[in-house]
Amino acid sequence: MKTRIKICGLTREEDIDAVVAAGADAIGFVFYPPSPRYVTPQRAAELARRIPPFVDVVGLFVNESPAVVQAACAALPINILQFHGDEDVAYCRQFDRPYLRAARVRPGLDLVEFAGSFPGARGLLLDAFVEGYGGSGHVFDWTLIPPDLPGFLVLSGGLTAANVVEAIERVRPVAVDVSSGVEMSKGIKDHSKIAAFVAAVRKADESI
């Protein structure tokens, strides 16, 4: 099965073009103001005009007010919402839109129970547990992922072209999500790293 690829934290037109040209399946915009990759809904709407059909637009939020999420959904064509904070199931499903629920993986977190708490989620995104939310470049211990984890799994956390093949072979996620691993600086993507990451994922797909 083809592993889907999401490139997150886009802030520039030329980076959107590079991600599309490389063949990524989804582009993520960060609507979390403390993040160096933050964009306003208005800026994201400008960037989204460069995204062709059949490339998903993902909006990432962290403990945001419902009004802000709704405003972003009105400003641009967000296909999937991604919730990265402490949002509960009632919060996540109020927008009547497909969503991913992120789990910050650490010893002691029952991922099966966590996934079961969000039965309507399109998938569970697993990321490293660090101070702040996402884009840290830290890899978590993949052995903490239980083999009986229900639903679709999206793997994130410190992925690069150098480790994504092993990640896919070991975890077998339906999708991988990368941000810092394809950057030259926070919020500024490296086009050669994007191309190398996509090529590495396709190589992994051929081997499994």
Whether 127 is a known active-site residue: answer yes
Helices (H), the chain: 13-22, 41-48, 66-75, 89-93, 111-116, 164-171, 191-207
CA 45 centroid distance within chain? 18
Q: From the candidates 15, 25, 127, 177, give the one annotated as an active-site residue.
A: 127
Residue type, 142: W
Given the structure tokens 């190398």, which residue do they identify?
A: 196
Q: From the candidates 8, 15, 25, 177, give the one annotated as an active-site residue.
A: 8
CA 151 centroid distance within chain? 16
CA distances from 67 to 77, 108, 113 (A): 16, 33, 29
The encoded tokens of residue 127 equal: 């990321």
- Catalytic residue positions, numbered: 8, 127
